[in-house]
Amino acid sequence: MEYKQLEQLLKDMSLEEKVGQMVQLPAGMIAKEGLITGQVDNLHLPKEQKRLIGSVLGLTGAEDLREMQENFMAEHPHHIPLLLMYDVINGMETIFPIPLGQGCTFSPELVEQAARVAAKEATAAGLHVTFSPMLDLVRDARWGRVMESTGEDPYLNAELGKAMVRGYQGSGKGEALDLAKEGNIAGCVKHFAAYGAPLGGREYENVELSERTLREDYFPAYQAAIEEGCVMVMTSFNTLNRIPSSGNKWLMRKVLREEMKFDGLLISDYSAVDEMISHGIAADSREAAKLAILAGVDMDMVSNAYIRYLAELVRSGEVEERLVDDGCMRVLKLKNELGLFENPFKDGSVEKEMEILLCKEHRNLARKMAAKSFVLLKNEKILPLAKEANGTVALIGPYADTVDMFGAWSFPKKPELGVTIKQGMEAKGVVPAVSKGCFIQDEDKQAKVGQKDVYTEEELEFLMKEAVETAKSAETVILCLGEHREYTGEGGSRADITLPKHQLELLHRVAKVNKNIVTVVFSGRPVVISEVVEVSKAVLMVWMPGTEGGNAVADVLYGDVMPEGKLSMCLPRSVGQVPIFYNKFRTGRPNEEGTRVGFIHGYIDESIYPLFPFGYGLTYTDFVYSEVKLSKDTMTKEEAVTATVTVTNTGMRDAVETVQLYLWDVTGSVVRPEKMLKGFQKVSLKAGESKEVSFAITEDMLRFYNIDMEFASEPGRFVAYIGSDSSTKNGAEFRLV
């Protein structure tokens, strides 16, 4: 539709219709009969209002969505199609690793490909918008939603967020944005802003961050995705410095619209507008509506506010109608960009669904990405295993033979088509002796409904004993442990981030009879696994690997695929260290070893360093780095310095290394982190091969928010580090003059 036609449509719409476009309701409220039923908490809204809404979330399936769209448009006065949205966070039916695992691939290419597959499957299922990428920086493993983030680093999150936007919206390889094109889905950057820094890691908790920290660490990834063309942004639940995001004019009008130049659709999070009442800055839903529209929220996701009160606020003169026109027009424009006025069903097709959901090509990519998301944390020469093992292999633990390796935001309609580790091994001709050993969740700790492994102590003891017997007669034990998916994700904050007690008991009882333990850890967060690492000869962190998890684990354990993942979020030694992150400050009393005590930075009873740092990950060979060579030791703002290392594969196997560049701005007008990731390159090296790896360091990489909050570089000393992870000491000094 031409823009002037949209403008004419806007003119023809009543105020109620324009407000209606700015409302999103759950599909459960717009039933197959075309309109409201009472099955769910339908906000008890009048039917004539619900028939005017602009969007629905939470339903997938080409047939169901087509039927709902048809019924809905028939009832709408101007037959305006619904925007159909859903949370496709790490795949639609073909489930990919959780974003935290995707972060460990350090591969924008792979992340873009996975997003592309997700977009194709989601649009075939009739969807128009996905609520992804989630780009909240995370430093606190207690928070349940770290699984949705690509990690603790602003630069990595920005690179991978841009890749997701390209994959979803089809704007990769510099292609012009054409959301109407088949396979393209609208992305939505979330949650704006800084939802990942709740006090105490507690879900929905207040966030207190200085403007400098926001701008240096938390805003860059959102901004990068917006600059990559992402067409939607979602507000966050949290208060930011005591102002809820959905009513925060500074955050939305100044930072998002004016500074980041975002002119797309801003949607609230689920009921977040009404939640300003309980936050305590709105007396009622009417006031919440006013705060949100003044802050620039274009669409109210599931609350009473806009649908009940926005028209009245305009009629009373408290809100200018142009604000409603602006919001409504952004909704109409997105529908138009998606081609919905010409084709309200977009790519929805039952045939297409049958053809591509979980197709071999998509499964292969999921398998490849899962294997590359795994991080080998320890290997005392026990991996890779030989398929023709002398003696049996015992496969033990609650994750040994289950398909449920999906992240918390995964809703496959056919989860049973996933591949278990047992199946993955058998596909390689290895027939393990399998024992469950225990259940995933300790009975007394099952905080979330619906995941109750109901069992008796006798049943548990039987499982344990059986597992010990299985371990006794095996050459090697593959122990598959991890937290339950429902203990991660939204509402999944935990104060204790160790593994369930029964699983640790199983570990120790098995270790008593067999020392050759390879532990595979499943989690949606950096769990505390110090005991596991101590007792095991090898530890592979696999996060929540998705549909092809079983095949991918077998691929890596048996060396058909080399592990190459690097931690996108560090693993703490204990929950007491959290929040913990590599780009920390030196303080006035630096503690290099991390464990010194006295009047020095740190704890009496714990190191200041994590168990495994950001960027860390082993493989089945070794790499040696030369010293860093610089093209020169001074640079002006107009020049660049090239930092180069030679990396050698000193082992017997070909492998890939993710070479990382970190910078340290030694002295600034404000203190600067002692390391900042500024580049990474994945380098393939054959056994014995050496390669030079270079990074160009340019002045823009040295900029920061100085003492006057200007984004600029400052002359002075810098150190360029190049290494295998963020703990590298391999650096060389240069000056900006």
> Which of the residues are catalytic?
269
Decide whether 57 or 529 has the Cβ nearer to ligand GLC: 57
- Minimum Å gap between C-beta 35 and ligand GLC is 22
> Which residues contact residue 475 at a Cβ distance below 8 angstroms, ignoring those fewer than 6 apart?
389, 390, 391, 392, 393, 516
SS3 readout for 213-275? HHHHHHHHHHHHHHHCCCCEEEECCCEECCEEHHHCHHHHHHHHHHHCCCCCEEECCCCCCCH
| H-assigned helices in 543-592 | 549-557
CA distance 446 to 686: 47
- Minimum Å gap between C-beta 190 and ligand GLC is 6
Nearest one of 325, 262, 248, 240 to 294, comparing CA atoms = 248
23-26 and 55-57 as β-strands: parallel, antiparallel, unpaired?
Answer: parallel
Decide whether 372 or 485 has the Cβ nearer to ligand GLC: 485
Decide whether 272 or 553 has the Cβ nearer to ligand GLC: 272
- Minimum Å gap between C-beta 58 and ligand GLC is 7
CA distance 219 to 239: 15
- Minimum Å gap between C-beta 268 and ligand GLC is 10
- Minimum Å gap between C-beta 28 and ligand GLC is 12
Decide whether 50 or 190 has the Cβ nearer to ligand GLC: 190
Chain residues in the site for ligand GLC (CB under 6 A): 57, 87, 131, 190, 269-270, 490
407 neighbors 546 (Cβ within 8 angstroms): yes
- Minimum Å gap between C-beta 349 and ligand GLC is 24
- Minimum Å gap between C-beta 43 and ligand GLC is 16
Largest CA distance in the chain: 82
Q: Which residue is nearest to ligand GLC (CB)?
A: 131
676-685 and 655-665 as β-strands: parallel, antiparallel, unpaired?
Answer: antiparallel
* Region class of 481: left (phi > 0), else alpha (psi between -120 and 50), else beta: beta
- Minimum Å gap between C-beta 208 and ligand GLC is 20
Q: Where are the beta strands (DSSP E) in 451-600?
A: 474-482, 517-522, 538-543
Kindly tell me the number of DSSP H helices and DSSP E strands found in the chain: 22, 27
240 neighbors 251 (Cβ within 8 angstroms): yes
Decide whether 96 or 237 has the Cβ nearer to ligand GLC: 237
Nearest one of 87, 230, 564, 594 to 369, comparing CA atoms = 564
Structural element, H or E, at residue 25: strand 23-26
Phi (first) and psi of residue 80, to 5 degrees: -80, 125
Nearest one of 177, 198, 194 to 248, comparing CA atoms = 194
> Which residues contact residue 659 at a Cβ distance below 8 angstroms, ignoring those fewer than 6 apart?
645, 647, 680, 681, 682, 683, 693, 722, 723, 724
CA distance 161 to 225: 6
- Minimum Å gap between C-beta 274 and ligand GLC is 13
Decide whether 135 or 571 has the Cβ nearer to ligand GLC: 135
517-522 and 538-543 as β-strands: parallel, antiparallel, unpaired?
Answer: parallel
* Region class of 284: left (phi > 0), else alpha (psi between -120 and 50), else beta: beta
143 neighbors 194 (Cβ within 8 angstroms): no
